[in-house]
């Protein structure tokens, strides 16, 4: 009987040990599985957007929520237009201003990223990310405006997904339709009408360059349209835009 009791206690300890190992395994593997599921969600969503247009992005949703804190009836200015209905001048201006190597890179401009990393280390904080248009689209679609190396890593992964399943033209089309151009103003069509009262297809070189220059800080330039920097940078982009390569 004593032997049977000892065997019972041994079996009980063995069961507890097995259960503990399972819990440890889930603690270790759980976060990895969660990350993989999130990546799968991003990838499937991107595959859907190859043919279907996104109606709302992470950035749109965040800004709409912020606007409705003070005005529950607030709405975004946004209208999707096809690639052909966006002025080629705006496409060239945005590439010249934001991502000169857009037609060539695989989603990440490693030279620009290295320069940004060096600049951030010098200032001991993340002040600029060296993001390509593809990375900016990744951020707009899924992420937030926070600056951290973790978010930057996720942005790069999504950028590679975008470049894998989408053409450059489709990436630029979505970007120009969802990027922020001012408080509550998203996409080229809404921006053209908000600032110049013309459709996106009718933007001239000066108007296109001005919109492109606003992109890094659109809400600020929406409030400060007479900025000297904005005027100087617009002239510079006008000189560069004709050499920008379209996809």
pLDDT tens digits for the chain (247 residues)? 445 555 555 566 665 666 666 666 667 777 888 989 999 999 999 999 999 999 999 999 999 999 999 999 999 999 999 999 999 999 999 999 999 999 999 999 888 777 766 766 655 455 455 799 999 999 999 998 778 888 889 999 999 999 999 999 999 999 999 999 999 999 999 999 999 999 999 999 999 999 999 999 999 999 999 999 999 999 999 999 999 999 8
Q: Within this chain, do residues 36 and 71 fall inside the same structural domain, yes or no? A: no
28 and 106 in a single domain? The answer is no
Q: Could you tell me if 33 and 155 lie in one domain?
A: no
Judgement on whether residues 73 and 177 belong to the same structural domain of the protein: yes
Identify which of 207, 215, 201, 216 has the alpha carbon closest to the alpha carbon of residue 238: 207
Whether the Cβ atoms of residue 154 and residue 42 lie closer than 8 Å to each other: no
The reported pLDDT for the residue numbered 28 is 73
CATH number for 189: 1.10.3810.10
Q: Are residues 23 and 83 in the same domain?
A: no
CA 43 – CA 49 distance, rounded (Å): 10
Question: In this structure, are 80 and 132 located in the same domain?
Answer: yes
CA pseudo-torsion sign 93, 94, 98, 99:
negative
User: Which residue is it, tokens 């492109």?
Assistant: 212
> For strand 185-186 and strand 77-78, is the pairing parallel, antiparallel, or unpaired?
parallel
pLDDT at residue 238, rounded to an integer? 97
Chain Cα centroid distance, residue 51: 19
pLDDT at 123: 55
Q: What Å distances lie between residue 173 and 81, 165, 168, 189, CA to CA?
A: 9, 14, 9, 12
Structure tokens at 58: 């992470």
Whether residue 183 sits in one domain with residue 97:
yes
Domain count, the chain: 2
Q: Is residue 164 located within the same domain as residue 216? A: yes
Q: Are residues 37 and 150 in the same domain?
A: no
Same domain, 39 and 64: no
The answer to whether residues 103 and 200 belong to one domain is yes
Paired strand residues for 186: 78, 180
State residue 144's pLDDT score: 82
pLDDT of the residue at 23: 66
Task: Say yes or no: 11 and 84 in one domain.
Answer: no
Helix (H, G, I), strand (E, B) or coil at 180: strand
Residue 141 CB-density burial (10 A; 0-12 exposed, 13-18 middle, 19+ buried): buried
What is the reported pTM?
A: 0.85
Could you list the residue range(s) of the whole structural domain that residue 92 is in?
56-243
Q: Tell me what pLDDT residue 16 has.
A: 62
């Amino acid at each position: 009987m004593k032997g049977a009791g000892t065997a019972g206690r041994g079996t009980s300890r063995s069961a507890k040990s097995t259960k503990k190992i399972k819990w440890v395994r889930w603690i270790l593997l759980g976060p990895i599985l969660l990350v993989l599921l999130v990546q799968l969600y991003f990838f499937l969503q991107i595959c859907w957007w190859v043919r279907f247009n996104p109606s709302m992005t992470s950035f749109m949703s965040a800004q709409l929520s912020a606007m409705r804190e003070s005005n529950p009836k607030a709405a975004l200015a946004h209208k999707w237009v096809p690639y052909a209905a966006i002025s080629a001048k705006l496409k060239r201006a945005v590439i010249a201003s934001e991502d000169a190597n857009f037609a060539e890179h695989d989603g990440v401009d490693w030279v620009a990223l290295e320069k940004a990393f060096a600049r951030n280390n010098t200032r001991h904080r993340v002040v600029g990310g060296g993001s390509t248009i593809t990375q900016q689209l990744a951020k707009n679609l899924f992420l937030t405006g926070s600056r951290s190396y973790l978010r930057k890593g996720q942005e790069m992964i999504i950028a590679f997904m975008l470049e894998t399943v989408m053409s450059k033209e489709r990436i630029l089309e979505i970007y120009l339709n969802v990027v922020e151009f001012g408080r509550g103003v998203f996409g080229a069509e809404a921006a053209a009408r908000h600032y110049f009262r013309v459709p996106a297809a009718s933007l001239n070189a000066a108007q296109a360059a001005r919109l492109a220059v606003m992109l890094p800080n659109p809400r600020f330039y929406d409030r400060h349209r007479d900025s000297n920097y904005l005027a100087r940078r617009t002239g510079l982009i006008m000189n560069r835009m004709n050499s920008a390569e379209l996809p």
